[in-house]
A and B are shown apart, each in its own frame.
Chain A
Amino acid sequence: MPLITYREAIRHALAEELERDKNVVVLGEEVAQFHGAYKVTEGLLEKFGPKRIVDTPISEAGFIGMGVGASMLGIRPVMELMFWSFYSVAFDQILNNAANVRYMSGGLINCPIVIRGPANGGTNVGATHSHTPENVLANHPGVKVVVPSTPYDAKGLLKSAIRDNDPVFFLENTILYGDKGEVPTDEYLIPLGLADVKREGTDLTIVTYGRCVLHSLAAAEQLQKEHNISVEVVDLRSIRPLDIDTVLASVAKTHRVLIVEEQKPFSSVGSQLAFMIQKESFDELDGPIHRLTTVDAPAIYSPPVEIEQLPNPQRVIKAALEALA
């Protein structure tokens, strides 16, 4: 299987879907002539032309609103946000309109829009550019939220997202764009709402998603070597719909849970997960559910301090040992 980057995996997914369905279009700031702020859309303008790869003005409310309207009329727009942090500029379009159209129309109007872009800290771009809004997005019934951790997952999930008839919010990570992974040349899809056990283990379940999956896998390796602790890592991949069954099956196996997420702790995805796990698996728990999050403060600008603010393998190891006490 060829090794390609996370960036290329997303680009391949876009190209394949653009090829497959003429209603698929890509819109966003600098996605066409500049090939995207993170070069995800490189080559697409040349291949599919300016009618389908469209540069927009710097106005999220305007172009996301346009995409929502287009999707209601049968187009399948894939919108790029330069940073998911700017979703709040288009909050009304994303979470008041797109999320509710199908329900408000009695099922007559679908909104098959995909909004994608990076949502992560760790690159010293400051508090206003480092948001991870998956919890805010997923709080709204009617939407789907996907956070892929590997090139393989990114490609398979994005293709499913584009074919989905509901708004799908696809949260990438600037730090992962250059990461390489095996991706098959044959076409494949990964259904939304299916978690993936990235590592099998017996002593502790780490439930995580996005870049924290990689931190957790690194920590699991070290925990096995240095502490003889066998960690199972469950990658949620989709935040909503949430594959709680895979999580609960793992909890029934290990009886101890650590949630690792690049979220601020208050009302995070992990808060919801912890509730669901204790509710459904109370009798399987041999200790309280533990959680490792970003330290509860606006994203810190100082590079060395930001590393410690976010989850990292050393912090995961410490939290894992506490969860096993």
Chain B
Amino acid sequence: MAQIIDMPKLSDTMTVGTLVKWLKNEGDVVKSGDMLAEVETDKATMELESFFDGTLLKQFVPAGGQVEIGAPLAAIGKPGEKVDAPAGKPAAAAPAAKPAAPASAPAPAAVTAPTPAPVAAPAAIAPSPSPLAPATVGRVRISPLARKLAEEKGLDYSRVKGSGPHGRIVREDILAAAKNPPAPASAPAAAAPKSAAPKADTWPWRSVMDKSPVQADSVAPLSNMRATIARRLVESKTTIPHFYLEIEVDTAPLSTLRNNLNAGLTKDGVRLSVNDFVLKACAAALRAVPAVNSSWDATGIKYHSAAHVSFAVAIDDGLITPVIKDTDKKTVFQISAEAKDLGKRAKDKKLAPAEFTGGTFCVSNLGMMGITRFSAIINPPNSAILAVGTSVKVPVVKDGAIVIGERLALTLSCDHRVVDGALGAKFLNALRDHLENPALLLL
């Protein structure tokens, strides 16, 4: 009897997965532990492991196909064994639009769809708002010349639509895109200057003399990640009663401490960011005001014994919130190293599900992009999220005189079902006290 491999649940919020690429072909011998396929969830692209020994008898889903959790992906058994796809959970067929499948993958037309007739129309199969859109991850078809041109122009060609055969991006597409760049999902920090004073040859924006159209009229298919972001944020903003509290922190002591540490420990590879201290301070504040370290649940308010602070990382086409487990138990240096590693792997879409789930509080920081203050949307099931701006030099009154001071705006978005105004204020006070006495964060 052949073993049927189903689409596993690879993240908390996953409802469908995209079979990006088969790593084993029908007829291949597979051993337990071998990687069978690459699966894209709403969060990351992961490898699907075999737990059986045998021969890969059948692939029920072509590369590019979107599959509901629990739907059959493949059968493993003895060579020559007959397999029928188990009825009841038909996998969604490959999207009608051509997926960005690798050249080595079987052509979608040549792959048989699961044999049992689906009982429901395809529309009814779709279990979530995730559309049957082609995944945009995986191999991009692009001519060698077009790739070279894109690299020379610093253009992200994964967002360019190809006009060549099979959607291949060719030179014309890159030249058109260079004249008319697609809006990046998230401008990289480096591209955002702190000051907008134009300097010769350093103007990072489109020329004001450029009279070409704003951009081409087009419809970008939703990636799994984009669809998930849309669904979860609408859910958050429409079901959680948000309110916002803001506090200003004097960051002069923190700047001094940070500069001293970075200067003295450069040779040791230490380079602490403001955000590393903010993460540590949040953990300390959660310990001081533990009622914020909680979640609303239909059965009651869940209080969490551990403080796991997550932080938002902008990546291509979206964002993700990696978690620093037991943030309160880690030093600023450990937090800094871990945040760097998680941030880098998040951008490569290489995070394991355990690394971006289970957070109890979240930090979103746009300070490095020059934003002074903003309010964030709560990341359920957290009961609050902290929005961090940039520290600015401002005139402040000290001992009756106006002097130059340094201030950082922190905005807390609270779920009013769990965190009332006084509780949120208490938390922000604790947070401010820790940041203004940053030596405590080193203990």
Residue positions of A touching B, CB distance < 8 A:
255, 282-287, 325
A235 to B254, CA, bound (A): 72
B143 in contact (CB, < 8 A): yes
Interface residues of B in 149-201 (CB under 8 A from A): 164-165, 168, 170-171
B329 interface contact, C-beta 8 A = no
- Select from chain A the residue with minimum beta-carbon distance to B147: A283
Bound complex: CA of A286 vs CA of B170, how far in Å? 6
**Cβ B165 vs Cβ A286 within 8 A:** no
- Can you list 17 A-B pairs, Cβ within 8 angstroms, ordered by A? A282-B144, A283-B144, A283-B145, A283-B147, A283-B148, A284-B145, A285-B144, A285-B145, A286-B143, A286-B145, A286-B170, A287-B143, A287-B165, A287-B168, A287-B170, A325-B164, A325-B165
Distance in angstroms between the alpha carbons of A282 and B143 in the assembled complex: 9
Closest B residue by C-beta to A285: B144
4 closest A-B pairs by beta carbon, nearest first, are A286-B145, A283-B148, A286-B171, A286-B143
Indicate if the CB atoms of A255 and B164 lie closer than 8 Å.
Answer: no
CB-CB under 8 A from B144, the residues of chain A are 282-286
Which of the listed residues B143, B146, B147, B171 has the most CB atoms from chain A within 10 Å of its own CB? B143
Cβ-defined contact, B148 with A287, below 8 A: no
Query: Chain B residues near A255 (CB, 8 Å)?
Result: 145, 171
A39 to B146, CA, bound (A): 53
Q: With A and B bound together, what is the CA distance between A285 and B169 in angstroms?
A: 12
Minimum CB–CB distance for B158 against chain A, Å: 18
Enumerate chain B residues within 8 angstroms of A325, measured Cβ to Cβ: 164-165
Chain A residues within an 8 Å CB radius of B147: 283
Nearest A residue to B146 via CB reads A286
Taken together as a complex, chains A and B put the C-alpha atoms of A244 and B389 apart, in Å, by: 59
Q: What is the number of contacts between chain A and chain B, taking CB atoms within 8 Å?
A: 25
* Cα A313 to Cα B58 with chains together (Å): 48
Q: B143: which A residues are within 8 A, CB to CB?
A: 285-287
The number of residues on chain B lying at the interface, defined by a beta carbon within 8 Å of a beta carbon of chain A, is 11
Q: Across the interface, which residues of B come within 8 angstroms of A286, CB to CB?
A: 143-146, 170-171
CA–CA, A285 to B170, complex, Å?
9
Residues of B in contact with A (beta carbons under 8 Å apart): 143-148, 164-165, 168, 170-171
- B234 to chain A minimum Cβ distance, whole angstroms, is 42
Nearest Cβ on chain A to B172's Cβ, whole angstroms: 8
Residue of B nearest to A278 (CB): B144
Contacts of B164 in A (CB 8 A): 287, 325
Q: Which residue of chain A has the shortest Cβ distance to B148 in the bound complex?
A: A283
Q: Which chain A residues border B165 with CB–CB below 8 Å?
A: 287, 325
Compute how far the CA of A286 lies from the CA of B148 in the bound complex, rounded to whole angstroms.
10
Alpha-carbon distance A147/B147, docked complex (angstroms):
37
In the assembled complex, which residues on chain B have CB atoms less than 8 Å from the CB atom of A284? 144-145
Q: How long is the Cα–Cα vector from A43 to B144 in the complex, in angstroms? A: 56
- Chain B proximity of A248: nearest CB distance (Å): 13
* Most chain B CB atoms below 10 A, which of A282, A284, A287, A325: A287
Give the Cβ gap from B176 to chain A, nearest Cβ, in Å: 14
Q: Distance (Å) between the CB of B169 and the closest chain A CB?
A: 10
In the bound complex, how far is the Cα of B168 from the Cα of A284, in angstroms?
Answer: 15
Residues from chain A with Cβ under 8 Å of B148 in the complex: 283
CB distance from A154 to the nearest CB of B (A): 36
Chain A CB within 10 Å, residue with most, of B145, B146, B165, B171? B145
Instruction: Kindly list chain A residues whose C-beta atoms are within 8 Å of the C-beta of B145.
Output: 255, 283-286
CA gap between A325 and B168 in the complex, in Å:
10
Give the residues in chain B near A287, CB-CB below 8 Å.
143, 164-165, 168, 170
Alpha-carbon gap, A282 to B142, bound state (A): 12
Docked complex Cα distance between A325 and B147 (Å): 17
Shortest Cβ distance from B165 into A: residue: A325
In the bound assembly, the distance between CA atoms of A283 and B145 in angstroms comes to 5
A322 nearest CB neighbor, chain B only = B165
- Chain A: which residue is nearest B174 at the CB level? A286
Q: Which residues of A contact B170 (CB under 8 A)?
A: 286-287
* CA gap between A282 and B168 in the complex, in Å: 16
Smallest CB separation, B439 vs chain A (Å)? 54
Give complex CA distance A82, B168 in Å: 49
Min C-beta distance of A274 to chain B, whole Å: 14
A284 to B148 CA separation, bound complex (whole angstroms): 8
A287 CA to B170 CA, complexed, in Å:
7
A27 to chain B minimum Cβ distance, whole angstroms, is 50
The answer for the CA separation of A283 and B165 in the assembled complex, in Å, is: 18
Bound Cα distance A283, B146 (Å): 8
For the A-B complex with A282-B144, A286-B171 known, give 10 more contacts whose Cβ atoms are closer than 8 Å. Answer: A283-B147, A283-B148, A284-B144, A286-B144, A286-B145, A286-B146, A286-B170, A287-B168, A287-B170, A325-B165
Which A residues are in CB contact (< 8 Å) with B146?
286
A284 to B145, CA, bound (A): 5
Please report the C-alpha to C-alpha distance between residue A255 and residue B144 in the assembled complex, in whole angstroms. 10
Cα A286 to Cα B146 with chains together (Å): 6
A284 to B143, CA, bound (A): 9
Q: How far is B144's CA from A282's CA once the two chains are assembled, in angstroms?
A: 6
Q: How far is the CA of A287 from the CA of B145 in the complex (A)?
A: 8
In the complex, chain B residues whose CB is within 8 Å of the CB of A285: 143-145
**Alpha-carbon gap, A285 to B146, bound state (A):** 8
- Shortest C-beta distance, B6 to chain A (Å), equals 39
Name the distance in Å between A290's Cβ and chain B's nearest Cβ.
11
Q: Complex Cα distance A104/B74, Å?
A: 61
- How many angstroms from the CA of A191 to the CA of B200 in the assembled complex? 52
Kindly provide the distance from the CB of B162 to the nearest chain A CB, expressed in whole angstroms: 11
CA distance A263 to B171 in the complex (A): 31
Q: How far is the CA of A22 from the CA of B388 in the complex (A)?
A: 95
Q: How far is the CA of A283 from the CA of B142 in the complex (A)?
A: 11
- Name the residue in A255, A284, A286, A287 with the highest tally of chain B Cβ atoms < 10 Å from its Cβ: A286
Q: What CA separation (Å) do A147 and B248 show in the bound complex?
A: 83
Query: B172 — nearest CB in chain A belongs to which residue?
Result: A286
- Kindly list chain A residues whose C-beta atoms are within 8 Å of the C-beta of B168: 287
A29 and B219 alpha carbons, distance in the complex (Å): 72
Shortest B104–chain A CB gap in Å is 16
B289 CB, nearest partner CB in chain A, Å? 58
Nearest-Cβ distance from residue B62 to partner chain A, whole angstroms: 24
